[in-house]
A and B are shown apart, each in its own frame.
Chain A
Amino acid sequence: MNAAHSDHREATARRSGIRITGRTLFEQMPIITLVVLAIGTGLLTDRFFTPTNLVNILLQASVMAIVAMGMTFVIVSGGFDLSVGSVVALSGCVATWVMMQAGVAVGIGAGVAIGALVGVVNGLCVAKFKVSPFITTLGTMVVVRGLALLLTDGRPIVGDDDGLPALFLALGRDRVLGVHYLIWVPLVLFGLLTWLLHMTAFGRRVFATGGGREAAFLAGIDVDRITVAAYAWCGALAGVAGVMLAARLQSGQPTAGEFYELTAIAAVVLGGASLAGGEGKLYKSIVGVFIMVVLANSLNLLNVHSYWQRIAVGMVIIVAAAADQMKARKR
């Protein structure tokens, strides 16, 4: 511990009155960004603040929100998951394929289970075999996409002559209490996962594992188990997202979910989580998702070519990562 550092710390502690405002502003950056983005778009086009468009945004955000919540678990635990996009595709295909043989409930269960399974494999590779999260999930990303193509022979699963079960198609279309099922799912999961990550002992352990793996281990935390659990939650949630996307697309698409992993990571980082682990808030990741979705939506409304949209999204990812680094350096 050097003197300058401790001096500095004491100094920041003493002038905490000043610091709070600056820090608070910085911490609320995601929400400020979202509000500015929405108002800016609203000023540029009157098609933004319309009920149809806002529902559309919610629908688009619903699938990504679930993927991003899972990603938050992994990133807070100190990891990283590139395989979620492929898992979204595979679970959608598995769910639709299974439900034609065994019914809707079993199909949905199978879709979620296959996601969880991929997550467990990711977690075991990272925790037990010490393969870096980047390499592990890059590998499973390719493998899982291959499995989805293999299962479907590269063609979407749209069911037999009658199509997919009507109940499943209704899930992707219908509303309850005036709100789409697809929007209810992330709302309910958000409550459940906020409790799990921010209010339980398990959640504290996830934060501790990501914040200092060795220190957490020496404090008696089974860091390997926590790592596997975080990846398993991420995989299972990607599975849920895959089933939802299949319901929305009314088919199991082996090419679905492309770039979801990048969008989800960008959303989580935009929400202020640290890629080094140990820091993050679930609701802020959701804000990050909305930033990404509203950005895409506004570019659409403003008739920006989809190629340009990709470029914009890529740049947002880099800006978010740079902000993450600047935050880390401030310490």
Chain B
Amino acid sequence: MLGNDPIIALSARNIDKRFQATKALEDVSVEFVQGAIHTLVGENGAGKSTLIKILCGIYPQDRGTILLDGIECRFEGPGAAAAAGIVVIPQELRVVPAATVAENVTLGQWPSTKLLGALPILDKTRMRAMAAEALERLKVSLPLAARVDSLSFAERQMVVIARALLRKARGLILDEPTASLESREAQRLFELIEGLKAQGVAIIYVSHRLDEVVALSDHCTVLRDGKVVARRARGGIDKDELIRLMTGRDLEELQQPHSREFGPPLLEAERIDGAHSERRLCMRRGEVVGLAGLLGSGTTQFLYRLFGAAGTKTPITVEGRKNEFASPAQAIKAGLGLVPGERALGLVMSLSVRDNIVLPNLDTLGGRWNLDTKGMDRLTKSLIELLDIRPRDPHRLVRELSGGNQQKVIFARWLASKATVLLLDEPTHGIDVAAKARIHRLMREFAAKGGGVLFASSEMVEVVSMSDTLLAMRQGRVVAEMARGAGEFSERALRAYLGG
């Protein structure tokens, strides 16, 4: 043995990578040690994904070397990297939905045998044994014969990790693995990662969730603008410092004072979680209402129902007028606006910034027959200024914008349509700390100007810090209602209701 010296499994030395004029990575060096968890943190665009893609052979680096066990290597693609034991678990899991667990775990390494000693066929017995062994190593029990499309996201993730193990993975790269997990599932994943770590696997972990980073990291590397700005080891990792390092500045306290003065009721709905329910929702002008719920708890469906996008009609009162929206068009006319959880659902990527902003209001903003393009341009330019959308070009296609700017375009749309009620589904899902703060500020400003904000989130800290009133949902039911300043209003109380 080498005593206590850590064994470096994989390292990157002086990596440079450019995309045309942009430096994505500049002189980045990182070492990944066997049997340790190494977290990579940084804002969107800091270079984390680029680094991962270079490590696993998706991109070639412009300069610098990748060393595996001290030997320089150049992977010709993700297949070659996987063969060498470097496996990535991406956010979008690569599974064959219609195939079984056993088939998916052993994918790419299906054992074969010979039928009657001649015809090659799939050796199902051995395949099942291989899959069972890999899952056993993870201490996970999944039905081997079940189709993967019948599994939850967390279970599919296990399948993909088991597949990586079967490939004798020595370096496991996890890209935002908890982004779509409930907290219990995330806990389960952490145990599993700790188990792999004990088996000597080098874990490379990318996450926006700094609490996880602090809890899990043996080593932590902070990237900013393509450069390594800090390296920390267990015990020396502090969340506030991480934020400072990632953003390059102190983050002012997000907690703006919560308003105590609300206007008249803006949006009211009865029996909000089913015909037999007594729960009602009453949102006043200037109020931010949070819908707390884990993935699949029904918060998204609730927002869609209010917006008339769920195919069923829900009685709803907006500014005293009773309504039942059969379509989003009617809801928009009444002053509602929806910001969906996935930006691809909120924006038409092949249209320009301007066309996306005016989309719900083509009749009023554009003129019935001939579009008033000059007026639309003026309006768009003013909103681009107001929300600081970059680049400042109304005619740029939205798919050419970064994620944070795309989110602002959706906001701009509802400002343009003079919406009074904003419904937001996971408004800060998967965006970095600084962009998140900007979105939170936009939500607050919207409420401060007399609008109402109803947002759904699975992030407890966010719900508690943003909401004036919050509803906790579980399995499609509202299980609790809390108001700031009345009784307990805390993350702990919320978790007790949600079982998170």
Contact = CB atoms under 8 A, between A and B. Distances in A.
Contact of A6 (B349, B403, B413): B403
Contacts of B328: 217-220
A200 B369 contact: yes
Given A199-B370, A215-B346, A221-B329, A4 B413 contact: no
A2 interface: yes
Contacts of B49: 2-5
Contact of B359 (A6, A12, A216, A279): A216
B431 to A, nearest CB: 8
B249 to A, nearest CB: 19
A12 B400 CA distance: 9
Interface string A180-209: 000000000000000000011100110110
Contact of B400 (A1, A9, A201, A219): A9
Interface stretch (B39-47, B232-240, B477-485): B39-47
Nearest to B91: A2
B350 A279 contact: yes
Interface stretch (B14-22, B142-150, B194-202): B14-22
A258 interface: no
Interface residues of B, number: 58
Interface string A199-238: 1110011011011101111111110000000000000000
Given A7-B45, A11-B20, A222 B329 contact: yes
B43 to A, nearest CB: 9
B21 A212 contact: no
Contact of B345 (A1, A214, A221, A278): A214
A199 B366 CA distance: 10
B338 A218 contact: yes
B327 interface: yes
B265 interface: no
Contact of B347 (A9, A11, A215): A215
A194 to B, nearest CB: 13
Contacts of A221: 329, 359-360
A4 B399 CA distance: 14
A130 interface: no
Contacts of B368: 201
A1 B44 contact: yes
A3 B46 contact: yes
Nearest to B22: A11
Contacts of B338: 218
Nearest to A203: B371
B24 A7 contact: yes
Interface string B312-351: 0000000000000001110111000010100111111111
Interface string A159-199: 00000000000000000000000000000000000000001
A319 interface: no
A25 interface: no
A27 interface: no
B489 interface: no
B183 interface: no
A268 to B, nearest CB: 16
B341 to A, nearest CB: 11
A220 B309 CA distance: 9
A123 B5 CA distance: 69
A13 interface: yes
Interface string B36-66: 0000001011111110010000010000000
Interface in A267-288: 274, 278-279
A305 interface: no
B44 A212 contact: no
Given A7-B24, A9-B400, A218-B340, A200 B327 contact: no
Given A6-B45, A11-B19, A200-B370, A218 B346 contact: yes
A10 interface: yes
Nearest to B50: A4
A329 interface: no
B59 A199 contact: no
Interface in B396-453: 396, 399-403, 406, 413, 430-431
A7 B22 contact: yes
A3 B24 contact: yes
Nearest to B366: A201
Interface in B1-47: 19-22, 24, 42, 44-47
Contacts of A279: 350
B252 to A, nearest CB: 24
A204 B351 CA distance: 9
B115 to A, nearest CB: 38
Contacts of A4: 19, 24, 49-50, 53, 59
A15 B19 CA distance: 11
A66 B13 CA distance: 61
Contacts of B402: 1, 6, 9-10
Contacts of B22: 7-8, 10-11, 14
Contacts of A14: 20-22
B191 to A, nearest CB: 27
A222 B391 CA distance: 31
A3 B329 CA distance: 35
A126 B177 CA distance: 37
Given A205-B362, A219-B413, A13 B350 contact: no
A179 B358 CA distance: 42
B359 A200 contact: no
B302 to A, nearest CB: 15
A8 B18 CA distance: 9
Contacts of A2: 44, 49
A27 to B, nearest CB: 13
A11 B329 CA distance: 37
Contact of A12 (B20, B332, B351): B20
B355 interface: yes
Given A12-B400, A13-B400, A208 B24 contact: no
A177 to B, nearest CB: 28
Q: Which has the most chain B C-beta neighbours within 10 Å: A8, A9, A219? A: A219
Nearest to B401: A9
Contact of A3 (B50, B351, B371): B50
Contacts of A3: 24, 42, 44-50
23 contacts: A1-B430, A3-B42, A3-B49, A4-B24, A6-B402, A7-B45, A10-B45, A11-B22, A12-B20, A12-B400, A13-B396, A14-B22, A201-B369, A204-B366, A207-B350, A208-B351, A218-B309, A219-B348, A219-B360, A220-B327, A220-B360, A278-B348, A331-B399
Interface of B: 19-22, 24, 42, 44-50, 53, 59, 307, 309, 327-329, 331-333, 338, 340, 343-351, 355-356, 358-360, 362-363, 366-371, 391, 396, 399-403, 406, 413, 430-431
Interface of A: 1-15, 199-201, 204-205, 207-208, 210-212, 214-222, 274, 278-279, 331
Which 10 pairs show the lowest CB-CB distances between chains A and B?
Answer: A1-B403, A201-B362, A211-B350, A278-B350, A11-B22, A220-B329, A2-B49, A212-B348, A11-B20, A3-B49
